[in-house]
């Protein structure tokens, strides 16, 4: 009798041990992006960022999941058209993309949570009943103020482009000024040359008129 009870106890303990080890090995799940309470995702008003939740299946059978957005509908959306994912056995890298977009009028410092619910779709076979299992995952989002380089919504690229345009306009204006000065100098030089020629012609004419008034000059022998 005692031996029989020992065998039963050993069998029960072995069964529990097998269940625990099996659940630890084949348990599927979902991993969230690398953000947490101490290191939330920080975005400025008007900014968007695409992230991925990761579905995992370390078991020996394929599993189908249905994903639903449960938190953060005001700032996030799941971008895949089909939100049912078949995760093959052993795969731990099936991505569920989510787009987080902060409205322009968002309050600085406000905190949000983006979360999903992952439901394992039951698969039934003859003589077998499988219950659906739900998993959840989430990450925090904080609306931050613009940094000095982002003030007014301008990025460094935008500032560089504006600076280049300003330099180009400045060079163009400088070239126009130089061209105007050169043309004015040439015009002035041409006017002076024309005036000098006219003066020489006038002097020659005056000399001829003076000779005519004096008359012919005779030499005495």
Look at residue 2 and tell me if it is in a domain: no
Q: Are residues 104 and 139 in the same domain?
A: yes
Query: Distance between CA atoms of 147 and 44, rounded to whole angstroms?
Result: 9
pLDDT at 213: 60
The one-digit pLDDT tens for each residue of the chain (221 residues) are 444 555 555 555 454 434 333 333 334 688 889 999 999 999 999 999 999 999 999 888 899 999 999 999 999 999 999 999 999 999 999 999 999 999 999 999 999 999 999 999 876 555 555 566 888 999 999 999 887 655 444 444 445 566 778 888 989 888 999 988 888 888 877 676 666 656 555 666 665 566 556 555 555 54
DSSP states of 209-220 as a string? HHHHHH------
pLDDT at 160: 59
Q: Are residues 117 and 177 in the same domain?
A: no
Q: What is the pTM of this model?
A: 0.53
Q: Are residues 136 and 172 in the same domain?
A: no
Q: For residue 49, give the nearest of 159, 142, 152 by alpha carbon.
A: 142
Q: Taking the CA atoms of the chain, what radius of gyration do you get in angstroms?
A: 45
pLDDT at 26: 38
Look at residue 11 and tell me if it is in a domain: no
pLDDT at 25: 37
pLDDT at 51: 95
Look at residue 144 and tell me if it is in a domain: yes
Query: Distance between CA atoms of 149 and 157, rounded to whole angstroms?
Result: 10
């Amino acid at each position: 009798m005692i031996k029989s009870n020992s065998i039963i106890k050993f069998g029960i303990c072995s069964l529990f041990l097998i269940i625990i080890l099996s659940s630890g090995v084949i348990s599927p799940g979902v991993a969230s992006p690398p953000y947490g309470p101490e290191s939330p995702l920080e975005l400025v008003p008007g900014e968007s960022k695409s992230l991925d939740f990761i579905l995992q299946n370390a078991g020996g059978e394929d599993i189908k999941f249905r994903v639903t957005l449960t938190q953060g509908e005001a700032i996030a959306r799941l971008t895949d058209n089909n939100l049912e994912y078949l995760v093959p056995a052993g795969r731990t890298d099936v991505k569920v993309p989510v787009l987080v977009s902060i409205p322009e009028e968002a309050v600085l410092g406000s905190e949000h949570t983006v979360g999903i619910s992952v439901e394992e779709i039951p698969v039934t076979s003859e003589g077998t009943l499988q219950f659906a299992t739900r998993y959840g995952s989430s990450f925090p989002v904080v609306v931050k103020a613009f940094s000095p380089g982002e003030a007014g919504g301008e990025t460094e690229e935008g500032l560089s482009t504006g600076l280049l345009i300003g330099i180009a306009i400045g060079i163009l204006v400088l070239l126009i000024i130089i061209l105007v000065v050169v043309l004015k100098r040439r015009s002035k030089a041409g006017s002076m040359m024309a005036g000098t020629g006219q003066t020489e012609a006038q002097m020659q004419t005056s000399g001829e008129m003076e000779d005519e008034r004096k008359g012919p000059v005779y030499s005495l022998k």
